[in-house]
Every structure is written in structure tokens, then in C-alpha cells.
Amino acid sequence: MAGAGASALSTDWARVGALFDQALELDATGRERLLAQAAERDPALAGEVRALLRAHDTSGGFLERPAWAVAPELLAEAPDDGPLTGSRVGPYRIQEEIGRGGMGVVYAARDERLGRTVALKVLPRAVSKDAKARERLAREARAAAALSHPGIATVYALEEFDGELYLASELVRGTTLRATLADRRLPSPRVLEILRQLADALDAAHRQGIVHRDLKPENVLLTADGRIKVVDFGIARSLTPASDGPPVLTLTGTALGTPGYMAPEQIRGEAVDARADIFAFGVIAYELAAGEHPFGGSDPASLVERLVADRPPLSRTLDPPALDTIVRRCLRADRGDRFASGVELLDALRAVADDGSVMPPGPLVIRNAWWWKFHQVAVATLTIVNTVTLGVRKAYLGASGSWVFLVVLVLATITTTLRLHLWFVSQVHPASLLALRGRVLRWIVLCEALLVTALLATGIALAGPHDATAAQFVVSSLLLLLSLLVIEPATTRASLS
């Protein structure tokens, strides 16, 4: 194919070039005249240039787009992963290819031992050939297999057949968050819902000490029923070679890092913890809410910028504002400034109401509520008993007895009603408990302080002639005082904070 053209041309390429350039400047008739003149001196040269001009005119966009745009499949494809569809691997019958990514090809496969369909991932050779990488992967797969959460695709097994490694995990049918992002903007309540689910999954894993380390929209699947499933939890990084050091990307290992989602400390190659996931979460949250990447998508320059910027220079303010605050905290460069783990993040997200307002933390923050409830009822009972006693014994106080009783009755009625109302709300609608308590607490404190004063004064006044009643009032008032100052703050802290 090198052909006569090339060898003929090599005799005088410079002359071809000169004539070609000259002709290119001219219009059609000018070219004809020029070529005709040239043909008289050197027909071969003129013929060559004429052919080249024709090629030039008809070549259209030839080579005008860069190679990777013309043949992107050459880059995206991992040629060493042979197709397995229809074949058998150990007990697995491969049904179809369902995905293909940096970490190899994923197939839907039937596990014929257990009669279930799984996602079977063929791991890159770079991993299966490297003893250290294998060991680490085995360790991590074991940890990941212990994760059981509706938001995480369960790892079933790490298998080896004929020297190749395969990872079997829960088969999730759905679209990636990446595809969803490309497809459409989600309404705000849906975004919040997805983020809460994602934070919930992160929380579950972080509690077991497992960090995803490669959280990104490609690793989050949305199922048809609206649930999310995070895949490759805890193992994603290990599937890439050189996962110990900085995320250097290699040719042989087709698995590549995703700089757009890596926390600054991760990019620098430092050890990562849950807060790296929090960072990735922040990027995903921003993308979902704003419809664009917080650092300008595939633009590695902003990545460098991010490495030095303490607070990310975000171009948009997210809606609702409460979410904006949360996302900015996730994206802080210094991991000490981020949420410490999934549970903190989850609490913050749960406090964002769907309409965007921040509502007080709901039912999920009430723990050990029994003591708190008992406290409400006990204090109310004590107040009622003393009020009734005073009503019966008001004659002891002489003429002022009725007035004192009236005052105590009013105070007792207010505080008892409010306390029993709090107890009632904690039973039927815990979500609004904290807000309600915030509104009524000052009245309870005021009434009880006056009540304690009245009972104590009455008790002291009655001491001597009516010791038994006096003792009851003094003890009760001290109990109420103690409860107000010490016991209640303690039970509240334990249950509601």
C-alpha cells in the first residue's frame, strides 16, 4: 500500500508542497491554469498535486477531530477482557453482560448451586496476578460481605476459577445515578430522598468501619422502585492496581480513579477514612441538586484548585439553603471540617424538610425515651398529690389558706397540663416533640419555680402544729426543685439531644 505514489513523491516532496500550497490559494480556474503550466515542465508532479488537491477537497472532516473522539471505543474498551456470554465459570452460568467499567466486565450469572442470579464481575488480571493485591482484596471482600443494608449491594463471594478472580454480588437491576444525572434534573424532594438513602447506606457501612473509597455516580444504582443501591462498597479501590499509593493510573490496570470525586487527601495519596466518602457524597449531592459538577466536571485544573482551596469555590447556591450548608460542609478541603461520618450527615439531612426548611430533628433522635416519659408523669403526679393535700389542709393556714390554695391550683394546673401534653405528644407524634418542648418549657419552669416556692413556704409555715403535712410539702418541694434543676436536664440530654 506504500505504493508508487510514496516513492515517486519522495523524489521531490518539497516541490509537491510548494505547488500544492500555491494551488490552494487559487480558485478553480486559477488552479487549472497553474497545473497546466506545471504539467508542461513536470507531468508527474502536476498529476500528483492534482490528486492531492482532489483529496483535499473531498476529505471533509478527515482528521479534524482528535483521535479519541473519532475512535473513543479504542480507549473505553478493555481489550483483554474476553467475552464470556453463554459460557460457564465454576457454578455460574453467564447470562448476559450488564456492565463494563474500569474494573472489568460485569455479567448477570446464574449461580446453579444456590439457584439465584448474581452479578459476576470478572476482575482485572492486574489484580488476579498480584499476590498482595489479591490478599488485600480478599480481606476487603470479607469485610464487605458482612455489610447488610438495603442501600448496599451485598457481596456474596470472591471466587477463583482457572487463576481468574470473580466477585459475585447481589444483582441490582437499575440505572446508574450517572445516567440519571445525564438524563434529567430531579425535583428537589426526590434529590433529598436519594441523598438520605445514600447517607443511610454510608452510615451503615461506616459504623462497621468500612469506607467505600470510590463513591461516585457510577457506583450508585437507582432501582425501579426508587431505592438506591451502592455497589463495590469497600472494594472499589482495591480493584485498581497501585491502590496503596496515590491514585496513579496505569495502562495495564484498566481500573482508573475518578479524580472528580476524590477528596483532597485521597488525591494526595494519604490514608483515607469515612470523611473521604463524605466528600464524594458532597460532590454527588451538588451534582444532583445543581445539575453540574461542583468543580467543573472533567476539568482537572479545578481539581488542582480544589487541592489548595480551603472552601470550594462553588458557582451555585443550592436549593434548599439547608442542603447548601450541608453540601458545603461535605466539600471542605480539610477533612476535620467535614461531617465525621455517615451518621452525622444523616442527622443533618433528616433535619432538612422536603420543603427546604430546617425542621428540628424528628423521632429518630429520641433514644431511651422511657425515663423521660416517666419523669413527665412522675412530676405531674407529685404536683397533683400536693395540690390535693393543700386543698384538704388549707384550713391549717387560716384566712390566707384559700388564696394560697388558689394560686397553687392555678400553677399546678398549668404545669401538669403542659407536662401531660408533652408526654401525650411523645406517644402519638414524636416528630413534633422537640419543637413543642421548646415552646412550653419556659412556662413549665416558671410555674414549677413558683409552685416550689409556695409549697416550701407553706411547709415552713405549718411546721410545728402540723408536722406531717409540713414535712410532705417541704419534701415534695425539694423533690420538685431537684427534678427541675438536675433530673430533668439529665433525662432530656439522654433522650432527646
Partner 1 sequence: MAEASGNRPELQALLPDVYAELRRLAAHYLRGERPGQTLQPTALVHEAYLKLQKDRPERWQNRAHFCAIAAHAMRQVLIERARARDALKRGGGAPRVTFDDELPAPAETRDFDMLALDAALERLAALDPGQARIVELRFFGGLSIEETAEAMEISPATVKRHWALARAWLARELQR
Residue of 203, 214, 277, 324 marked active site: 214
Choose which of 30, 43, 83, 321 interacts with partner 1 (CB under 8 A).
Answer: 83
Cell numbers representing residue 51 in the block: 490528486
Of residues 220-249, which lie at the interface with partner 1 (CB under 8 A)?
248-249
Smallest gap, in angstroms, from Cβ of residue 15 to partner 1?
A: 12
Beta bridge mates, 190: none
Bridge-based pairing of strands 104-111 and 88-89 is unpaired
**8 A C-beta contact, residue 460 and residue 470:** yes
Choose which of 33, 56, 367, 439 interacts with partner 1 (CB under 8 A).
Answer: 56
Cell numbers representing residue 297 in the block: 466536571
- Contact between 485 and partner 1 by CB under 8 A: the answer reads no
Per-residue binding string, partner 1, 326-345, x by CB under 8 A, is --------------------
Smallest gap, in angstroms, from Cβ of residue 5 to partner 1?
A: 7
Burial 67-103 (b: 16+ CB within 10 A, else e): eeeeeeeeeeebeebeebeeeebbebbbeeebbbbbb
- Around Cβ 389, how many Cβ atoms within 10 Å? 16
**8 A C-beta contact, residue 145 and residue 137:** no
Choose which of 251, 271, 399, 428 interacts with partner 1 (CB under 8 A).
Answer: 251
Of residues 111-130, which lie at the interface with partner 1 (CB under 8 A)?
none
Per-residue binding string, partner 1, 283-322, x by CB under 8 A, is --------------xxxxx-xx--x---------------
Q: What's the alpha-carbon Rg for the chain, to the nearest Å? A: 37
Segment lying near partner 1 (by CB under 8 A), choices 1-9, 27-35, 363-371, 486-494: 1-9
Looking at beta carbons only, is 308 or 468 nearer to partner 1? 308
State the residue for C-alpha cell 409540713.
470
- Contact between 453 and partner 1 by CB under 8 A: the answer reads no
Per-residue binding string, partner 1, 21-40, x by CB under 8 A, is x--x----------------
Smallest gap, in angstroms, from Cβ of residue 191 to partner 1?
A: 19
Smallest gap, in angstroms, from Cβ of residue 251 to partner 1?
A: 6
Smallest gap, in angstroms, from Cβ of residue 104 to partner 1?
A: 13
Smallest gap, in angstroms, from Cβ of residue 438 to partner 1?
A: 47
- Phi first, then psi: what are they for 238, rounded to 5°? -75, -15
Smallest gap, in angstroms, from Cβ of residue 111 to partner 1?
A: 21
- Contact between 468 and partner 1 by CB under 8 A: the answer reads no
- Contact between 190 and partner 1 by CB under 8 A: the answer reads no
The residue type at 302: S
Looking at beta carbons only, is 307 or 494 nearer to partner 1? 307
Segment lying near partner 1 (by CB under 8 A), choices 17-25, 283-291, 330-338, 448-456: 17-25
Choose which of 182, 392, 435, 460 interacts with partner 1 (CB under 8 A).
Answer: 182
Active-site residue 225, yes or no?
Answer: no
- Contact between 72 and partner 1 by CB under 8 A: the answer reads yes
Beta bridge mates, 168: 120, 157
Beta bridge mates, 229: 221
Looking at beta carbons only, is 36 or 55 nearer to partner 1? 55
Number of residues that bind partner 1 (CB under 8 A): 64
Segment lying near partner 1 (by CB under 8 A), choices 65-73, 136-144, 383-391, 468-476: 65-73
Given the rule CB under 8 A, which residues bind partner 1?
Answer: 1-3, 5-6, 9-10, 13, 16-17, 20-21, 24, 51-53, 55-56, 58-59, 61-63, 66-77, 79-80, 82-87, 96-97, 100, 178-179, 182, 248-251, 256-258, 297-301, 303-304, 307
Catalytic residues, which ones?
Answer: 214
